[in-house]
Chain A
């Protein structure tokens, strides 16, 4: 037990050290790309928390990611130079002018019916705060409804899946204030305390690395609490947990909300790194892809799911850019998924876990007799 703990600590330490050492090995372009993968890593952590620990398979995590992204993108859009050069004293997004009715005043208050919603986003802190607050509130309400109604298993997946598609539809339809299919592009840079986060700078990379590290550590600590143990108990047998006196929906909603907050945070970082927000964040395929990352990395391991997300994206980029494989790369990625699901159902994290267990058995022959007996019984 203690040895396992030490190895786990070492793995986290090594991973975080690697994050901060990476800038020594590549140029700004490469770092920007890795920063994007680190954001995906945060999504892996968010999925592992709900899927692995709570047994809630959310097929609409993109909803919270997209919300975070759009909230910050709205603020950054208003701070972009083009929004300030539209012939008014206050910033106005360019796409609103393109579609404005003749004679409409060039001001956020009334250029179109919904534009007033944009007003508070002139303050960057408002966009930053809403990037977390909105996913948290929506997840809280959604979780309270779903879990109070005792909906579980595949039905939660169907509801979340339907919801992300619904919101995507509304987002595209609200073209006057969201720029529809085109999303929000041509954004300004995030500025905090005088530091400008140019996407192709080390500062932005370190922001992502620090955010991922903090998320991992916080999620790990959360997973070590008694509340997490009770959550896992609820995952195994809801009814039993109820009869022990636990208010099951509150536990499920709490962890669902934490996961949504992480996804919202990741969405904001993604906007900083890639300088756009688009309805594709709420595509079904993106939300499903996140689940695949977590499955490959190991859904019951926070670090595993995180590494899974980063690794798959690195392999994907490598393979898709190799000339000989341009036609075949999707098949290769698909094959990797199939092999992992067939031969490592618990993913990379599960594999590491079994290796540690085997190592432990070899190390301590005195214990191995009982452990071995226990294992052969279980086999």
Chain B
């Protein structure tokens, strides 16, 4: 099987405290993997390590065989990793359309390649398509700062679509969403499946069932278990460490 993302013995320590201990993980191309774990298990830290926000002290990260361990963020992004933050992060003073346009420019990211006007017809078509997929057509000309929380999350997902990375890291894409918003988000994410490889941190088990194929459970910085939704739900160690005796509710 073609490995899209491979972590090998990844570790990081903050002043003696080992936040991530020897994590090895392999995600196949086109797979959607959910990362599960209690608060402080190291889920977001793991994403920070993969995307270059923090530097690992040991181990390696590979994307389609290329070693990208501890590269600067923008080079990791160019190597094919896109990320959505837990707190939605968009360009607040630009319009929705401009936000997606900026993300579209990443194929030629240098200053001098961008000293030109407007967007190609191809890009224009793509932007329209993304606006449609994320349901943001009506607010395309609106400044991003004025979007609702849910819309901001979708805009960031739209920016990821425009960026078109091979591997997408999603950190709690449904945090703070209403039920209706959550199911729309599940739609969007299911559309990304197959074309992209996804690694998703999520707490909402209903949502996880809607999107997940495989789950990896982290506990105190280590991989505790890995398997299908059904396997994880019945795993005794997972129950003890995270889900509680009542199982997945």
Contacts and interface: CB of A to CB of B under 8 A. Distances in A.
Interface in A331-371: 370
A45 B138 CA distance: 35
A285 to B, nearest CB: 30
B43 interface: no
Interface string B142-172: 1100100000000000010001000000000
B110 A247 contact: yes
B90 interface: yes
A245 interface: yes
Interface string A182-224: 0000000000000000000000000000000000000000101
Counting chain A CB atoms within 10 Å of each CB, which of B73, B83, B93, B94 scores highest?
B73
A367 B146 CA distance: 19
Interface stretch (A69-77, A81-89, A229-237): A229-237
Q: How many of chain B's residues touch chain A, expressed as a range?
A: 35 or more
Nearest to B73: A242
Given A230-B114, A239-B89, A246 B109 contact: yes
Contacts of B73: 239, 242-243
A226 interface: yes
Interface string A1-13: 1000000000000
Contacts of B53: 239
Contact of B74 (A225, A229, A232, A247): A247
Contacts, number: 98
Nearest to A250: B111
Given A244-B77, A244-B102, A374 B146 contact: yes
Nearest to B84: A243
Given A242-B73, A244-B77, A374-B142, A226 B82 contact: no
A374 B145 CA distance: 12
Contact of B115 (A227, A237, A240, A250): A227
Counting chain A CB atoms within 10 Å of each CB, which of B53, B94, B111, B117 scores highest?
B111
Given A226-B114, A251-B111, A245 B146 contact: no
A243 B99 CA distance: 13
Contacts of A226: 101, 105, 114-119
B157 to A, nearest CB: 13
A248 interface: yes
A237 B110 contact: no
Contacts of A229: 94, 98, 101-102, 105
Contacts of A242: 72-74, 77
Q: How many of chain A's residues touch chain B, expressed as a range?
A: 20 to 34
B105 A230 contact: yes
A245 B165 CA distance: 10
A20 B92 CA distance: 39
Nearest to A254: B111
Q: What 10 A-B pairs are tightest by C-beta distance, nearest first? A: A245-B77, A227-B114, A236-B91, A242-B73, A226-B114, A233-B91, A245-B106, A245-B78, A378-B146, A233-B102
16 contacts: A222-B115, A226-B114, A226-B115, A226-B119, A227-B115, A230-B105, A230-B114, A233-B91, A239-B73, A240-B90, A242-B72, A243-B73, A244-B77, A244-B109, A244-B163, A374-B146
Interface of B: 51, 53, 72-75, 77-78, 82-83, 85, 89-94, 98-99, 101-103, 105-106, 109-112, 114-119, 138-139, 141-143, 146, 159, 163
Interface of A: 1, 222, 224-227, 229-230, 232-233, 235-237, 239-248, 250-251, 254, 370, 374, 377-378
